[in-house]
Amino acid sequence: MNMPWRRNVSPLPATGALNLLQLPGQRTLAYGEWGDPAGVPVFYAHGAPGSRLEGAFFHDAAQAAGIRWIVIDRPGMGASSLANNYTLLDYPRDVSAVADALGIDQFAVSGWSSGGAYALTCAFEIPKRIAFVAVMASYTNFGEMSVAKDLLWRNEQRGPKIAEVSTGLFRTLLSLLRLTERYSPKLYLKFIESSSTEQDLALLRDAGVLERFMNNQREAFNQGVQGVMLDLLAQYRHWGFSLSEIHLPTHIYQGVKDRFVPWRFAQHLADNLPLADLRMITDAGHMFPLEADFQRELMSAIRRYLAPSETSDARKQA
């Protein structure tokens, strides 16, 4: 059977273990793996604030579906080195470096929230290596949507507008956020809950989900706020390419009631990506990717693209 994602298979990793890859120029990439270590590979781009630990949310569904879920810490978050001049277009090179180190030729990319921009950049920059693209509650290209920051402001998401006025003030805002997370996690959680729907809150009330969520947030700020700040600033401007230049089929999932990322962002993506498949999820907020039913749907879609013959065989046996 032809399995294009396999080349020289590396030793099977421990679930969630910290892996480090040294790059030229003294930069270190940190990444973790979840799901099936011998499965169909997916490079998942975490949110911001976020880290490789976000992969833990998807472990069970990925393992059940035979999917290898790989998450790289972006610069200055988690354990990856800070890179001050990093742009969205640098991220695909990092993904390629990890894929090469793991002996992976072809893979899927996915991203949630701020991670969507990075998954889409991979679709633009390294399309020949990518067999599937999915973004969930994703930002759109701010340089191609003039009202993007206004829409976020109306949703009480002040960061992009504040950053536009003063980078220093934006840094102060993130510093306060980090201090709150570190020394008053209950207050930090109340801040998250203030923009959450009832569906989001129900997910966060699960003790296991909440623990993973807070661990992920803590790891995001492990090195301070500079990495998170630069990561967000890179998204708040033009991305360096046009959405119309992405010629891969792109699956877009969006909660209609999302208060962190307005649904109009997803509509803008669908209107500008040549091969977009948009699914608006009624009554869903921002946290819908944590739902078991959605994760099964996503994993099934990934397998249909990367392992179509296996999916077909499974249907025949059923």
Task: Kindly state whether residue 170 falls inside one of the protein's structural domains.
Answer: yes
Task: Kindly state whether residue 189 falls inside one of the protein's structural domains.
Answer: yes
Q: Which residues pair with 251 in a beta bridge?
A: 134, 277
Task: Kindly state whether residue 228 falls inside one of the protein's structural domains.
Answer: yes
Average pLDDT on 215-223 reads 97
The pLDDT-based confidence of 15 (bands split at 50, 70, 90) is: confident
Quote the CA–CA distance of 191 and 213 in Å, as a whole number.
14
Quote the CA–CA distance of 225 and 82 in Å, as a whole number.
11
Residue 97's alpha-carbon distances to 91, 93, 241, in angstroms, are 10, 6, 22
What CATH number should be reported for the domain holding residue 294?
A: 3.40.50.1820
Quote the CA–CA distance of 49 and 113 in Å, as a whole number.
10
Average pLDDT on 2-18 reads 58
Give residue 306's pLDDT: 87
Average pLDDT on 112-119 reads 99
Structural domain total, the chain: 1
pLDDT tens digits along 232-280: 999 999 999 999 999 999 999 999 999 999 999 999 999 999 999 999 9
Which residues, other chains included, contact 163 with Cβ-Cβ below 8 Å and sequence gap of 6+? Answer: 170, 232, 233, 236
The pLDDT-based confidence of 25 (bands split at 50, 70, 90) is: confident
Task: Kindly state whether residue 14 falls inside one of the protein's structural domains.
Answer: no
Task: Kindly state whether residue 58 falls inside one of the protein's structural domains.
Answer: yes
The pLDDT-based confidence of 9 (bands split at 50, 70, 90) is: very low
Sign of CA dihedral 282, 214, 90, 231: positive
Task: Kindly state whether residue 7 falls inside one of the protein's structural domains.
Answer: no
Which residues, other chains included, contact 226 with Cβ-Cβ below 8 Å and sequence gap of 6+? Answer: 76, 82, 171
pLDDT tens digits along 161-197: 999 999 999 999 999 999 999 999 999 999 999 989 9
Give residue 310's pLDDT: 59
What region, left, alpha or beta, does residue 78 occupy, with left being phi > 0 and alpha being psi -120 to 50 degrees?
left
Rounded to 10 deg, the angle between the 167-183 and 185-193 helix axes is 120
Does residue 315 surpass a pLDDT of 70?
no
pLDDT tens digits along 45-99: 999 999 999 999 999 999 999 999 999 999 999 999 999 899 999 999 999 999 9
Give residue 307's pLDDT: 78
Structural domain boundaries, residue 261: 19-317
Q: Which three-class secondary structure state does DSSP give residue 157?
A: coil
Quote the CA–CA distance of 235 and 79 in Å, as a whole number.
21
Does residue 18 surpass a pLDDT of 70?
yes
Does residue 2 surpass a pLDDT of 50?
no
Which residues, other chains included, contact 23 with Cβ-Cβ below 8 Å and sequence gap of 6+? Answer: 29, 94, 97
